[in-house]
Amino acid sequence: MRQYITRRLLEMIPVLIGISILIFVIFQLAPGDAVSAIVDPKTSAETKAKLREQLHLNEPILVQYKYWVMDILKGQWGESFYYKQPVSRVINSFIWNSFYLSLASFLLSAILSIPIGVLSATKQYSKFDYIFTIFALIGISMPSFFFGLLLIKWFAVDLKLFPVSGMTNPGSTATGFALFKEVMHHMALPLIVLTLGSLAGLMRYTRSSMLEVIRQDYIRTARAKGLREKVVIYKHALRNALIPVVTIFGMSLPGLFSGAIITEQIFNWPGIGPIELQAVNTRDYPLLMGINMLLALLTLLGNLIADVTYALVDPRIRLK
Amino acid sequence: MDELLIIKNLKTYFYTDEGVVKAVDDVSLRINRGQTLCIVGESGCGKSITAMSILRLIPDPPGKIEGGEIIFEGKDLLKLSDDEVREIRGNKISMIFQEPMTSLNPVFTIGNQIIEAIMLHQKLDKKEATKKSVEALKLVGIPRAEEIINAYPHELSGGMRQRAMIAMAMVCNPTLLIADEPTTALDVTIQAQILDLMRKLKEETKTSIMLITHDLGVVAEMAEYVTVMYAGKVVEEADVIELFKNPKHPYTLGLLESKPQIHIDKEKLYSIPGQVPNPFNLPKGCYFFPRCERAMEICKEVMPTLKEVGNGHKVACHLYGGDNNE
């Protein structure tokens, strides 16, 4: 197993190089260059030319790539044009806010989707199943910008149960548990929006996986042994039904860090999502490339984690 | 005779979108203590459904036991509560299935799956249950039982898995073992070993066996009493020697005819003409009538009933029993 993981990690190197080339080339193809993005349009042509020189923008593309890669390897992801700060610092100051929100939503949807999926499958075509099927349809089709605004209107503006936006109260100095409580209070509404979206899919996935498993011969064997229905379902069936679901969990790792652009924007959550959007609008290429590289790395790690967990839960899979 | 299990007028129907399938339609049979009963018939004749009905393992929906009685050791299984039936399953009546490849749970070890049954029914602790599982695996002829107990099903061959299934079924000393085509998915040499094993276990434990098969060779080797089913109904039943010596029902005759025989050189193997009737559209009279070579006018209109024709031999056919046709 250790050997397998080491090999997979080594294999990631060429893949990452390939991804870095792709990202670099794509951003080179994008219209406008960094100079037009960072300077005032009124700046003289001379100053612009000087700046181009400074940023190596006149060099051939391969040389520019070399500069970029060398910097990345040194841990310098460049400086954000917009924030005038190192990219790593910009990412670091926003990404964790996204992570907390996404992680909470991920855990909540996992905890809820599995039992609901199992019940929907074991009571297929029952009222319970229909109610949650409709719920899932709503969850999948409801646009988050609309649902988010709806929640703000109902629970923040009308009922005043939750704050309208942000992560903490303006000017808050709370620390420790008080801060945690304050953040949770702010998180509630965006959490509901994000969870509704992912819960629906996971639930349906668990349901169909479970439906397939409970028709298997070994479930009949388990019943023929005299096991209680609960043991049959939650031990014999669920263990098998979760194998594909676990893979999905592993692959959702990059999603935990990439931020939810729309939801975070609507609730003014200081996450990485709106920063990404802003970086696109302001042609903040170093920041965009940094975020993309990070997500590429996380995607590869997520796949590795999915494969490893797959082998852990299914004895038929042996990693070599 | 000491009767262990009596099935009376069992009716198991399936309610599908296309209509009602009478998978088991008014079937009666009995098994004595220590006896091996074989149920023979083509695929879809209701033999497996009969067996599953005994342990109430029919998936509902779409299946439903609509009537009849299943008396096991004096109690009607169909009237017991779910909990009471569960106590009988895997304990007094256990079952082995056709597909050893898919009948064991792939994510649990063999030992885990056997221990589970022991701990459930015999209230032993884990250590004793483990010891007992090893013994059970040894009893069914699995070498290196101490190691196999920690193996996962996919690490064993089909024959070994079926042995493990038998070990699992026998570990609580059932009084009735239902074996639903236990050898169909295995190759011929393994088939013989598994049948030998079942016979040996039966002699040692005095367990009654209800063996479901479509293979008359298996019947000849294992059975003491035989029930032939066709389209959800019993068409003939008799002692095994009587049945092979003196088959009555044209369907049974056809089955025997279509069995390959080593010393007779035939160009082509006989097969019963026609096909199993569509369960949604059964003929009005005898279900076998459209395929029967000796069909008469009456067969088209009237369903024959099962009647004794001597020697404990019963047959449902208008060719026998003459004027007492109803």
Indicate the pLDDT class of residue B321, thresholds 50, 70 and 90: low
Contact yes or no for B120 and A239 at CB 8 A: no
CB A191 within 8 A of CB A148: no
In terms of C-beta distances under 8 Å and separation of at least 24 residues, what long-range contacts does A310-313 make, across chains too? A310/A243, A310/A246, A310/A247, A310/A250, A311/A1, A313/A239, A313/A242, A313/A243, A313/A246, A313/B107
Answer whether B117 touches A (CB < 8 Å): yes
Does residue A166 share a domain with residue A261? yes
Does residue A296 share a domain with residue A253? yes
Last residue of a domain, one of B122, B153, B171: B171
CATH number reported for the structural domain that contains residue B230 in this entry: 3.40.50.300
Q: What is the pLDDT of residue B325?
A: 43
Residues of A in contact with B86 (CB under 8 A): 226-228
Does residue B285 share a domain with residue B226? yes
| Domain membership of residue B125 as a residue range | 105-171
Contact yes or no for B99 and A239 at CB 8 A: no
Does residue A128 share a domain with residue A56? no
On whether residue A170 sits in a domain, the answer given is yes
Does residue A120 share a domain with residue A51? no
Last residue of a domain, one of A73, A104, A119: A73
- Which of these ranges, A28-37, A288-297, B222-231, has the smallest mean pLDDT? A28-37
On whether residue A90 sits in a domain, the answer given is no
**Model pLDDT for residues A102-134, shown as the tens digit of each residue:** 999 999 998 999 999 999 998 888 899 999 889
- Cis status of the peptide bond prior to B61, with omega within 30 of 0: yes
**Model pLDDT for residues A285-294, shown as the tens digit of each residue:** 888 888 888 8
pLDDT at B324 over 50: no
Give the contacts of B149 (CB within 8 A, at least 6 positions apart): B109, B110, B111, B114, B130, B133, B134, B137
Chain A 206-265, residues with CB within 8 Å of chain B CB atoms: 216-218, 220-228, 236, 239-240, 243
For helices A2-29 and A285-313, angle between their N-to-C axes, nearest 10 degrees: 150
**Model pLDDT for residues A190-231, shown as the tens digit of each residue:** 999 999 888 888 898 999 999 999 888 899 999 888 888 888
Averaged pLDDT for residues A281-303:
87
Q: What is the pLDDT of residue A320?
A: 66
Does residue A216 share a domain with residue A297? yes
CATH number reported for the structural domain that contains residue A174 in this entry: 1.10.3720.10
Q: What is the pLDDT of residue B250?
A: 87
Is pLDDT larger for residue B266 or for residue A217?
Answer: A217
Does residue B219 share a domain with residue B166? no
Question: Which of A12-16, A30-34, A164-168, B303-307 has the highest mean predicted lDDT (pLDDT)?
Answer: A12-16
Contact yes or no for B97 and A221 at CB 8 A: yes
- Cis status of the peptide bond prior to A274, with omega within 30 of 0: no
Does residue A182 share a domain with residue A102? yes
Does residue A6 share a domain with residue A119? no
On whether residue B98 sits in a domain, the answer given is no
Does residue B211 share a domain with residue B68? yes
Does residue B189 share a domain with residue B53? yes
- Which of these ranges, A233-247, A267-281, B262-276, has the smallest mean pLDDT? B262-276
Calculate the average pLDDT of chain A: 87
In chain B, the percentage of residues whose pLDDT exceeds 70 is 97
* Token output for B222: 């294992």
Averaged pLDDT for residues B121-134:
88
Does residue B167 share a domain with residue B67? no
On whether residue A213 sits in a domain, the answer given is yes
pLDDT at A97 over 70: yes
Indicate the pLDDT class of residue B323, thresholds 50, 70 and 90: very low
Does residue A169 share a domain with residue A21? no
| Domain membership of residue A29 as a residue range | 2-73
Does residue A100 share a domain with residue A61? no
Answer whether B174 touches A (CB < 8 Å): no
Calculate the average pLDDT of chain B: 85
On whether residue A288 sits in a domain, the answer given is yes
Q: What is the pLDDT of residue B169?
A: 86
From the list B102, B120, B152, which residue is nearest A226 (CB)? B120
Last residue of a domain, one of B131, B156, B171: B171
On whether residue A38 sits in a domain, the answer given is yes
Distance between B91 CA and the closest CA of chain A, angstroms: 7
Q: How many domains does chain A have?
A: 2
Cα nearest neighbour of B177 on chain A: A224
Indicate the pLDDT class of residue B322, thresholds 50, 70 and 90: low
Contact yes or no for B90 and A226 at CB 8 A: yes
Does residue A165 share a domain with residue A20? no
Does residue A205 share a domain with residue A165? yes
Contact yes or no for B102 and A239 at CB 8 A: no
Averaged pLDDT for residues A12-40:
82
d(CA A259, CA A275) in angstroms, rounded, equals 9
Does residue B231 share a domain with residue B120? no
**Model pLDDT for residues B25-82, shown as the tens digit of each residue:** 888 888 988 889 999 988 878 888 888 899 888 887 788 888 888 888 888 888 888 8
Does residue B240 share a domain with residue B277? yes
What single-letter amino acid sits at B110?
I
Calculated CA dihedral for residues A148, A151, A153, A155, nearest 10 degrees? -150
Q: What is the pLDDT of residue B326?
A: 40
DSSP code at position A153? I
Interface probe with A: pick from B49, B93, B98, B105, most Cβ of A within 10 Å: B105
Does residue B156 share a domain with residue B84? no
Q: How many domains does chain B have?
A: 2
On whether residue A200 sits in a domain, the answer given is yes
Does residue B290 share a domain with residue B149? no
Alpha helices in A152-271 (DSSP H): 176-213, 217-224, 229-231, 238-251, 253-258, 261-266
pLDDT at B271 over 90: no
Distance between A3 CA and the closest CA of chain B, angstroms: 23
pLDDT at B203 over 70: yes
On whether residue B97 sits in a domain, the answer given is no
* Token output for A233: 């379902």
Does residue B160 share a domain with residue B64? no
On whether residue B52 sits in a domain, the answer given is yes
Indicate the pLDDT class of residue B248, thresholds 50, 70 and 90: confident
